[in-house]
Amino acid sequence: MAMKDFAVTAPRPLPVFILADTSGSLGVDGKIEALNQSLRDMVKSFPTESRLRAEIHLGVNTFGGDAQAHLPLSAAHQIQGIQEFVASGGTPLARRYPKPIN
C-alpha cells in the first residue's frame, strides 16, 4: 500500500472565534477603527494561508450594548468581507456568556 492510501486528502476545519468588544469605550482614541482594520486584515489574510492541513473557519460575535452574533462559523476563504463595527453601549458580556467556557 502506498502512503497516499492513508493520507487525509481534505483539510480539517480549524475554528477561529472572535469575541470583539464594541462597547462605547472603544469610541475614543481610534480604538474601534483599529478593531475594524485588524478584523479586515485578518479576514483578508486567511484565504492565503495553506489549506493543505487545515481550513480556517471564522465566527464573529460582538458585545456592546447587546451581545450579537455577526458571522456564523464560515469557511474563511468564502468570506467576502466583514462589516464595520460602531462603538456603542455597555459591556454585557455576562448576559451573552453566563457560564464558563471549558
pLDDT of residue 23: 92
Its pTM stands at 0.75
In a domain, 6, yes or no: no
Please give the single-letter amino acid code of residue 77: H
pLDDT in tens, 72-97: 999 998 998 888 999 998 876 666 55
Residue 48 has pLDDT above 70, yes or no: yes
Q: Specify the residue for cell string 469605550.
A: 25
Structure-derived torsion over alpha carbons of residues 94, 98, 99, 102, reported in degrees to the nearest 10: -60
Q: How far is CA 100 from CA 36, 40, 87, 97, in A?
A: 27, 29, 26, 7
Q: Which range marks the domain in which residue 23 is found?
A: 12-96
Share of the chain above pLDDT 70, in %: 81
In a domain, 85, yes or no: yes
In a domain, 7, yes or no: no
Which candidate, 85, 81, 83, places its Cα nearest to that of 65?
85
Query: Domain tally for the chain?
Result: 1
In a domain, 5, yes or no: no
Rounded to whole angstroms, the Cα distance separating 16 from 45 reads 13
pLDDT of residue 91: 76
In a domain, 1, yes or no: no
CATH of residue 18's domain is: 3.40.50.410
In a domain, 2, yes or no: no
Alpha helices in the chain (DSSP H): 31-45, 93-96
In a domain, 92, yes or no: yes
Residue 99 has pLDDT above 80, yes or no: no
